[in-house]
């Protein structure tokens, strides 16, 4: 493997730290920085061939604005953000380097990248695209190459609708004063599987899920459809219309 020098801003935690370990195992030299630790942004940009921004979604463009102007021609600026349109636009605007947006479709809890989907959005990429793909594919990742716009449209469903649904269920359970320990004896396998998902979303990083939903540029269509559908289902239930609800399920199967 070629030995790149990589700097990960936000590499002190979460998915940034996971990728610091991954790139080190692949033979790269990796520097990580956080708000209070590691190299300052200009030094990191000067020292590294590749700089990756891996900070919370709401802070991403602000960090790109700071690091972008320090990037040199021939180096690579990337981000790890769960949304792609705004970060990629900012990276192109504030740097003269090559630019590739990336979104690993897994969290820092997984053991390996093998078999995992990783979206990449090459925006200004010549020499680095092949190198990046070789490292990721070398680890067994499944690379999906697309545009930032298509990525965010897909994420409005895969993450937006999905997490919206989970949050709604969690809030309803809480408002209903549900005692999960009491439910344990009454739980079905499907319910238990949903509770595991709820625990993840309501766990240590709720801000990530909140930003994934609220900052997605395509979420409003999904949200409108969700609200309208819930209201249609409510009418069917209020009318005890099992036949109507069955028809609705069948029509959308």
Ligand X SMILES: NC(=O)c1ccc[n+]([C@@H]2O[C@H](COP(=O)([O-])OP(=O)(O)OC[C@H]3O[C@@H](n4cnc5c(N)ncnc54)[C@H](OP(=O)(O)O)[C@@H]3O)[C@@H](O)[C@H]2O)c1
117 binds ligand X (CB under 6 A): no
Tell me how many residues contact ligand X (CB under 6 A).
26
What is the Rg, in whole angstroms, of the alpha carbon atoms belonging to the chain? 21
Report if residue 141 touches ligand X, rule: CB under 6 A.
Answer: no
- Nearest CB to ligand X, comparing residues 98 and 211: 211
The neighbouring-strand residues paired with 119 are 103, 144
Report, in Å, the least distance between residue 46 CB and ligand X. 19
CB of 3 to ligand X, least distance (A): 24
Answer for which of 10, 68, 101, 122 binds ligand X (CB under 6 A) is 10
Alpha carbon distance 47, 27 (integer Å)? 17
Give the C-alpha distances (Å, rounded to integers) separating 83 from 78, 79, 87.
13, 10, 7
Separation CA 232–CA 221 (nearest Å): 17
In terms of CB distance, is 16 or 160 closer to ligand X? 16
Cβ proximity to ligand X: between 150 and 248 the closer is: 150
- Residue 42 touching ligand X (CB under 6 A): no
Residue 217 interacting with ligand X (CB under 6 A): no
- Alpha helices of 35-188 — where are they, by DSSP H? 41-47, 57-67, 85-94, 127-138, 148-155, 162-175, 180-183
101 binds ligand X (CB under 6 A): no
Considering beta carbons, is residue 74 or 140 the nearer one to ligand X? 140
State yes or no: residue 205 binds ligand X (CB under 6 A): yes
CA distance 107 to 126: 28
216 binds ligand X (CB under 6 A): no
The beta strands (E) that lie in the chain are given as 5-9, 29-33, 50-53, 76-79, 98-104, 117-124, 142-145
Among 6, 60, 118, 141, binds ligand X (CB under 6 A): 60
Pairing of strands 98-104, 76-79: parallel
- Binding footprint of ligand X on the chain (CB under 6 A): 10, 12-16, 34-37, 54-57, 59-60, 63, 80-82, 103-104, 107-108, 205, 208
């Amino acid at each position: 493997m070629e030995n790149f020098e990589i700097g990960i801003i936000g590499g002190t935690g979460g998915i940034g730290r996971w990728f610091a370990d991954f790139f080190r195992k692949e033979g790269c030299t990796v520097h990580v920085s956080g708000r209070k630790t590691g190299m300052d942004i200009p030094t990191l940009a000067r020292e590294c061939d590749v700089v990756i921004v891996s900070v919370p979604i709401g802070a991403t463009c602000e960090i790109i604005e700071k690091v972008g102007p320090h990037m040199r021609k021939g180096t690579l600026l990337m981000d790890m953000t769960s949304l792609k349109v705004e970060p990629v636009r900012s990276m192109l605007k504030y740097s003269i380097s090559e630019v590739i947006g990336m979104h690993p479709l897994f969290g820092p809890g997984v053991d390996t990248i093998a078999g995992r989907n990783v979206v990449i959005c090459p925006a200004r990429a010549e020499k680095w695209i092949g190198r990046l793909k070789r490292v990721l594919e070398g680890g067994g990742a499944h690379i999906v190459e697309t545009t930032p716009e298509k990525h965010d449209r897909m994420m409005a469903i895969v993450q937006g609708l999905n997490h919206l649904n989970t949050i709604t269920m969690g809030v309803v359970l809480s408002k209903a004063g549900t005692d999960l320990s009491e439910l344990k004896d009454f739980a079905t396998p499907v319910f238990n599987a949903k509770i595991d998902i709820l625990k993840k979303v309501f766990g240590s990083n709720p801000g990530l899920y909140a930003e994934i939903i609220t900052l997605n540029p395509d979420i409003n269509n999904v949200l409108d459809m969700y609200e309208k559908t819930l209201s249609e289902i409510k009418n069917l239930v209020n009318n005890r219309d099992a036949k109507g609800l069955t028809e609705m399920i069948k029509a959308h199967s």
